[in-house]
Structure 1
Amino acid sequence: MSEASGPATATSTPPLLPDGELERSTVVANSTMNRERGLSGVNSYARELGFDPVDDLLARYASPSWLDLCSGEGRALREAAARLPATAVLTGVDLVGPLVPVPAPPMVELVTASVAGWTPRRSYDLITCVHGLHYVGDRLGLLSRAASWLGSRGVLVAHLDPGSVRHADGSPAGRPVLAALRSAGFTYDSRRHLLTLRGPLAVHLPFHYLGADPQAGPNWTGQPAVAAYYRPAP
């Protein structure tokens, strides 16, 4: 399967939702893709990312910071807190937030907010979005913003399905989107469907967001996902 898998010809464009309405759709609001994922093991961040986030942070920083976008219950951050120094900063942001009222360690902040409008008050050494972009409308806008949130030598890692990015007419936009991301400094691992950026960088992608379709059906994960529509920016 190619990096930009999808139909070869244009299709009719479905009704597109702005982010506010999209986040109230059942596909987005009730997503369980990342809610219970832990730090290590079979269903884990280490498995999905191909590296242990805590090992990576400790190898690079004495007092690290980690921002996890679309963090679900925040289980990975809670587990990371037990292995990191008390001066570490761990932040999770999720549209629904933790559904299980378990107290978080002092170094862990779990924010219930839309990643489409949330902005941090600090920079981070590691930013992750594990299978979260599948449910974000303007995922290119979020990637551009998150690139500026990286600290010195910071790393951004996020899953991206190029097949879920479309032109205004419904035809696949994966190839030009990946080309633009690479030109901006991202690398893409097609086997893991992972974008990586080392920053901080000012990222400007030449696309204008039009809206999203929450009824696009399953993506490569086999789970229902959201298709994002863009047109080239002038």
Structure 2
Amino acid sequence: MDAAHLLADPALEASPVVANNAMNRLRGLRGPNSYARELGFDPVERLRTLPSVPSWLDLCCGSGRALIEAAAAFGDRDVTLIGVDLVEFFDRAPGDRPLLVAESVTRYAPGRTFDLITCVHGLHYVGDRLGVLARGASWLAEDGLLVADLDLAEVVTGDARALRRDLRAAGFEYDARRRRVVRRGPGAAPLPYRYLGADDRAGAGYTGQPSVASHYERIRTPSGASSPACGA
């Protein structure tokens, strides 16, 4: 890949592949086209087991429909529900929950921790995927769970095996069959990669929709320690 064709975040976020209003627009909380189906668990049922005030951060939330339905399911129970999406095409919530934020997930900083962090098919459109994962790990509560769809074929590092090893070393589990990454519990999880930019001409991913290829350089100091990297 010619580095001249790699886009920095401002140009990438203006790309029609990224700044679309279709991703996650119709996906609700439960049912055939839902978060429960994609994640393999019902987020509300998981959060209901928590004794304290539960919290859910949904990155690349689309219309926010799943969070709005979650707010209704919780009823009067105190709960924190936040959705973040680059494009402000949110459904109208009947009350003051959830909080829906129009912002790039690569710049968003919540200033708090969460019991559940999800990104359902959103990283396909993000440039610095690894940076988002590393930062997300630092936002997890003590028993928190991060789940995101991640296709490693769209993360170009020059060494796919090393990338899987580095994800494991940083505390992430990767399910190659489901193309899903999971992190349990908080921690600083910098990954030894320098983000170079993204290619919005990568074509369709495994979902059949156009996606973005993220390019990285793997970096190590002579001693083997990581130099400044994703999430540092």
TM-score after normalising by structure 1: 0.89
In terms of fraction of residues, the more strand-rich structure is 1
Q: Please tell me the residue identity of whatever aligns with 1:117.
A: R
Aligned partner of residue 79 in structure 1, secondary structure: helix
Query: 1:36 corresponds to which residue?
Result: 26
**Shift in alpha-carbon separation, 1:176–1:14, aligned structure 2, 3 A:** farther
* RMSD over aligned Cα atoms: 1.6
Aligned length: 219
Residue 174 of structure 1: how far off its partner (Å): 3.1
Match of 1:220 in 2: 206
Deviations 1:100-151 (A, max 9, x none): 4x13532310000011111002111000000000000000001001100011
Identical residues among aligned pairs (%): 54
Write the letter of the residue equivalent to 1:59.
Answer: T
More displaced 10-residue stretch of structure 1: 187-196 or 109-118: 187-196
Partner of 1:160: 150
SS in 1 for 2:26: coil
Q: Which residue of structure 1 aligns with residue 82 of structure 2?
A: 91
SS in 2 for 1:29: coil
The residue type equivalent to 1:203 in the other structure is A
User: Does residue 232 of structure 1 match 2:218?
Assistant: yes
Q: Which residue of 1 aligns with 2:9?
A: 19
C-alpha distance after superposition, 1:31-87 (max 9, x if no partner): 523122100111100111111111111123442000000001100000011222531
Q: Which residue of 1 is the match for residue 60 of structure 2?
A: 70
Give the Cα separation in 1 of the matches to 2:80 and 2:24. 21
Residue 177 of structure 2 corresponds to: 191
Tell me the distance in 1 between the aligned counterparts of 2:123 and 2:98: 22
Taking a change above 3 Å as real, the CA distance of residues 14 and 134 of structure 1, as seen in their structure-2 partners, is: farther
Partner of 1:6: none
Query: How far apart in 2 are the matches of 1:182 and 1:152?
Result: 19
Unpaired runs of 5+ residues, structure 2, are 221-232
Between stretches 91-100 and 71-80, larger displacement belongs to 91-100
Q: Distance in 1 between matches of 2:2 and 2:164?
A: 23
Question: How far, CA to CA, are the matches of 2:88 and 2:162 in structure 1?
Answer: 34
1:18: Cα distance to partner?
0.4
Contact 2:86 2:102 in 1 (8 A): yes
CA distance in 2: counterparts of 1:36 and 1:14, whole angstroms:
36
Q: Which amino acid aligns with 1:137?
A: G
Q: Answer with 206-215 or 190-199: which moved more.
A: 190-199
Unaligned runs of 5+ in 1: 1-10
Alignment partner, residue 7 of structure 1: none
Q: What TM-score comes out, normalization by structure 2 length?
A: 0.89
Moved over 6 A (4+): none
Indicate how the Cα distance of structure 1 residues 104 and 189 shifts in structure 2: closer, same or farther if over 3 A, else same: farther
The one-letter amino acid of 2:71's match is A
Is the partner of 1:225 in helix, strand or coil? coil
* Aligned equivalent of 1:182, options 143, 147, 168: 168
2:95 is equivalent to residue 105 of structure 1: yes
Contact 2:60-2:120 at 8 Å conserved across structures: yes
User: Is the partner of 1:126 in helix, strand or coil?
Assistant: strand
